Amino acid sequence: MFRTSTSALISLRISSRRLATHVSQSAPTTALGTRHDWSKKEIQDIYDSPLLDLIFRAAAVHRQYHDPKKIQLCTLMNIKTGGCSEDCSYCSQSSRYSTSTKASRLVEIEPVLEAARKAKANGSTRFCMGAAWRDLAGRKRGFEKILTMVSEVRGMGMEVCTTLGMLSPDQARQLKEAGLTAYNHNLDTSREFYPTVITTRSYDERLDTISAVRDAGISVCSGGILGLGESDADRVGLIYEVSSMPEHPESFPVNALVPIPGTPLENNEPIQYHTLLRTIATARVVLPSTIIRLAAGRQTLDEAKQAMCFMAGANAVFTGEQMLTTPCSPWDEDKTMMARWGLAGMRSFEQTNVARKEGSRLTASSEPVAESLSVSSAETQSAL
């Protein structure tokens, strides 16, 4: 009798562990909800929990809402460099600082399309374009050129993202009509710490642009930068702000500051790895359906550290030749790393919320969605 009871108890414990760590791949993620009423204390308690417990919790949430084997591969191109009137203290593109970044005019359409074609051929399924502007005021011809870029890249079957500074509702509408998938507009940090980093644009102005983007039916990409001199409470405050939005952002980029000579933050210490990991894991728990993008600074992490970030809930990266003004991990290196860890790239429009906002445009499109390339284990071994 004792042996039978013990065996049953062990069986029950094993079954419970399976329930906690293995989610049926057929479970519909659309049935899972998201909370918009997190308190700062709740988020702080999650952030402060023992790190391995936090990663385990985040990994379980990640498997409920996402395929843990899939990573979104994104490529970013700077289509208009430098000369920005803003005073973002981390940015080499500000005209207020003496840096190695030189101002340039908006790139012509064809080089952008060629870069997008190259990104697609290398497995990227989202192409992002950034212009160093405060806003689009007085840039009618430049904006028209960007609308053409968006339309042409979308015609390749890729997701398209831009970051162009502040937008009006009408500008957001025009971008949506051109085929824009997502718009990046980072909050950077908490509301409280923000004025020590930027003074030329208010926090509420950023939120206004995000509202205009969301109201236009464009997916919101909004995250922050770690290593600005902020506290743990500020990192919690950033996550709190995006968790309180009417819709959680489609993606949440987590950037580690790359200090650039000539900027006010040139001497900042690199963010500690455990802080990066803790921020990713907390964001995954609080923003369960959001894609969490391991962005600037990733090239400083070795493979094991990146793998732990993926375990904690990160499921997107920038890959290619360059970010806006900082280094990026190259495609071949990333695909080989992913193959070693059993990871594969997402298809375009694979995320449920992105596909929903595409609506009839996606179903009516004659262009096939971009398939992210992967490297087989055999190819990986031959490459080593």
Q: Is there a binding annotation on residue 74?
A: no
DSSP codes joined into one string, 253-316? EEEEP---TTSTTTTPPPPPHHHHHHHHHHHHHHSTTSEEEE-TTGGGS-HHHHHHHHHTT--E
Q: Is there a binding annotation on residue 63?
A: no
Render the burial of 172-187: b for 16+ CB within 10 Å, e for the rest: bbbbbebbbbbbbbbb
Q: Where are the alpha helices (DSSP H) in the chain?
A: 2-21, 40-48, 51-65, 109-121, 140-154, 169-178, 203-215, 232-243, 273-286, 303-311, 331-340, 352-358, 360-364, 377-383
**Alpha carbon distance 358, 41 (integer Å):** 36
Q: Is there a binding annotation on residue 309?
A: no
**Alpha carbon distance 144, 79 (integer Å):** 14
Residue carrying the six token digits 């409280």: 192
Q: Give the closest residue to 357 by CA, choosing from 97, 160, 222, 130.
A: 160
The count of C-alpha atoms lying within 13 angstroms of the C-alpha of 80, restricted to the half-sphere facing its C-beta, is 23
Q: Is there a binding annotation on residue 161?
A: yes
User: What residues are labeled active site?
Assistant: 84, 88, 91, 128, 161, 221, 293
Q: Is there a binding annotation on residue 84?
A: yes
**Alpha carbon distance 84, 368 (integer Å):** 37
Binding residue numbers: 84, 88, 91, 128, 161, 221, 293
Binding residue numbers for [4Fe-4S] cluster: 84, 88, 91
Binding residue numbers for [2Fe-2S] cluster: 128, 161, 221, 293
